Amino acid sequence: MTEKNTETPSVDTTSELSHAHDGPCMEGRGYTVGGFIMAVLAVLVIPPIHGLLGGVLGYIGHRKGDSLGRTAMACSLAAMVVGSMVAALAFRSVA
């Protein structure tokens, strides 16, 4: 009679799942997301402050390895310009 090994090999799936999304771009992803949020705020509220903050956050995200950091920086600076133009037109029509 031969005995079969019925034990299933134990696999630690928690360590595989926790590192599934870790990559070179994930370290700076928070800064990049912050840069995009600041880009939206630059159009709506205080364009110079939010636009510059978004540009800095996008730059930091890019330096930390996120490939979208440059895009966040460019969007924030463009949103600063657009927000300033919208604010100038809004104040012109009020006065």
Domain count, the chain: 1
Q: Does 54 fall in a domain?
A: yes
Report the length, in residues, of the chain: 95
List the single range of 10-19, 24-33, 51-60, 86-95 with lowest mean pLDDT: 10-19
Structure tokens at 89: 């037109």
Q: Does 9 fall in a domain?
A: no
Q: Does 19 fall in a domain?
A: no
pLDDT bin (cut points 50, 70, 90) of residue 94 is confident
Say what the pLDDT of residue 93 is.
82
- What digits encode the pLDDT tens for the residues 21-38? 555 557 899 999 999 999
Domain residues for 53?
Answer: 25-94
Q: Does 55 fall in a domain?
A: yes
User: In the chain, what is the greatest distance between 2 CA atoms, to the nearest angstrom?
Assistant: 98
What is 4-26 written as a DSSP string? ---PPPP--HHHHHHTSS--TTT
Q: Does 17 fall in a domain?
A: no
